Amino acid sequence: MTGSPATRSAPAPVIAHEHGWLVESAHRTSEGIVQYVRCAECGVRRVDIAAVPVVVPAAASREFG
């Protein structure tokens, strides 16, 4: 890498946002309804599970992508 530390640019900061999850697919299992979701803004994905259809789904995986 060339240049002095004063002239090197720092990496762009990661801007956090509240994800807006879209369900890409879902299916029933013995544990409840598994949903494969994707953030509409950044495209990150995760897997959710809803034990009862009227309960808000909880993340069953970490975000990836």
The predicted pLDDT at position 57 comes to 72
User: pLDDT higher for 63 or 46?
Assistant: 46
Question: Which residue range is the domain that position 32 belongs to?
Answer: 21-59
Of the chain, the end-to-end C-alpha distance in Å amounts to 28
What are the C-alpha distances in Å from 10 to residues 4, 5, 7, 38?
12, 10, 9, 29
> Does the residue 9 lie in any domain?
no
> Does the residue 40 lie in any domain?
yes
The predicted pLDDT at position 32 comes to 85
> Does the residue 65 lie in any domain?
no
> Does the residue 28 lie in any domain?
yes
> Does the residue 5 lie in any domain?
no
Nearest to 64 by CA among 48, 43, 34: 43
Domain count, the chain: 1
pLDDT digit string, tens, across residues 4-62: 555 666 665 566 888 899 999 999 988 888 999 999 999 999 999 887 656 677 787 78
> Does the residue 7 lie in any domain?
no
> Does the residue 34 lie in any domain?
yes
Q: What is the pTM of this model?
A: 0.57
Strand partners of residue 48: 35, 59
